[in-house]
Amino acid sequence: MSALGTTPADCARQLAVQFGWQRGERREVRVLHGSAKRRALVDSPAAAAAFACRQPRGAGVYVTMNALAATAADRFAADVDVPHRVRFALDFDPVRPSGTPATDAQLDAARALGAEVERFLVAHGWPVPVRMDSGNGVHAYWRTDLGTASPQPRALLKALHARFGTDRVAVDVTIHNPARIMRAAGCWNCKGTEAPDAPHRVACVTHAGEPGARALEAEDFDAVLRALGAADRAPEPAKRTPAPRRYAGGELPRLDVGAWLARHCIAHRGAREWRCADGIGTRWVLAACPFNVGHDRGEAVVTQAASGAVAFRCQHHGCAAHSWRELRELIEGPRVDVLDMFKKAGKALRREANDAR
Ligand SMILES: [Zn+2]
């Protein structure tokens, strides 16, 4: 059984619609299967479908939303490989425990929210998009004519989520970068463990969009951002500064985590604001998990709370036990804990005394 949920010809037809795939446009097909990751550079929907057909059932098949430059390097696609944004996508994602497929009711809720947002955008002059059921949620796609540096896709995702997102369905705010991959139509979505009311489904295009729809330009994004009151948002309120952490000997020095990561050449995707229990902290998504470089899909994160407290977490099961302390030990070597040394020495002495008896 293959990752394809339909015939190769039908998959190719759907991919052409999903991505507005023009003849000769190069895209990367990426296959994620457990921790394995494969890719193929293809220049037609038919070639993408043929590659998907060779993948086993259970593998997730994705395609870069935007076309890649002819000069794109021979590696997994990065933002620099995209010369122009030709596609904008929305992903309506039911809020549910991770590792579970959506239930039919959750999928219906995603479709309803997708329809509501679509009505709003169409009312602001946008064409009717291509619609797709991703298997666990709903996608909408528009043609665009935007530079890769445009901040508007990101701003719009955030603003749409703020206005329309609910506690049941979220607008995915992370899919704005030019090299973003999207689940391929015509392929199985086998993410998570199936349940009777939450089966694995085949991603499929459900509406081909407005025939001959124009490409959205910067002004189309600005019009919607203005309508959402997100065009000239007032600066964020001043950050609250919580009291520094203290211990018996006085204040704990605050670690400069950004400098520490740089000093030890730990690559990350930039420092981001992070809402934590004690105010606004900082969050670094690592390019790869220091304990296992195969964990390179954003699983590994370092956070620093407003108080200065630092934490490390990798979502991968094998890394569940690894904390910030272990990460520091991994990078800097064992840390000498004087109290611990005395305890161990005491234990060893008692053992010796017992053995001598
Ligand atoms: Zn890990």
**pLDDT for the residue 273:** 85
**pLDDT for the residue 337:** 63
Say if CB 185 and CB 16 are below 8 A apart. Answer: no
Mean pLDDT of the chain: 89
| 0.85 surpassed by pTM | no
**Secondary structure (H, E, C), 182-223:** EECCCEEECCCCCECCECCEECEEEECCCCCCCCECHHHHHH
The distance from CA 351 to its chain's CA centroid, rounded to whole angstroms, is 52
CATH code of 8-227, in short, is: 3.30.70.1790
**pLDDT for the residue 340:** 66
Interval between CA 295 and ligand 1 midpoint (Å) = 5
User: What are the Cα distances from residue 313, in Å, to 19, 45, 259, 317?
Assistant: 35, 38, 19, 11
**pLDDT for the residue 155:** 96
149-185 pLDDT per residue, tens:
999 999 999 999 999 999 999 999 999 999 999 999 9
At residue 60, the 3 state secondary structure works out as strand
Q: Per DSSP, which regions of 147-243 are E strands?
A: 169-171, 181-183, 188-189, 201-202, 204-207
Say if CB 187 and CB 11 are below 8 A apart. Answer: yes
Interval between CA 327 and ligand 1 midpoint (Å) = 11
Interval between CA 318 and ligand 1 midpoint (Å) = 7
Say if CB 319 and CB 289 are below 8 A apart. Answer: yes
Say if CB 198 and CB 102 are below 8 A apart. Answer: yes
| Low pLDDT (below 50) residues in the chain | 234-239
At residue 260, the 3 state secondary structure works out as helix
Task: Name the amino acid, one letter, at 7.
Answer: T
The domains of the chain are located at 8-227, 252-339
Query: What would you report as the CA-atom Rg of the chain, rounded to the nearest whole angstrom?
Result: 24
Interval between CA 289 and ligand 1 midpoint (Å) = 5
**pLDDT for the residue 234:** 42
**pLDDT for the residue 348:** 79
Interval between CA 26 and ligand 1 midpoint (Å) = 32
Interval between CA 283 and ligand 1 midpoint (Å) = 16
Report the b/e string of 189-205 with b at 16+ CB within 10 A. Answer: bbbbeeeeebebbbbbb
Residues with CB under 5 A from ligand 1 (ion): 289, 291-292, 295, 314, 316, 319
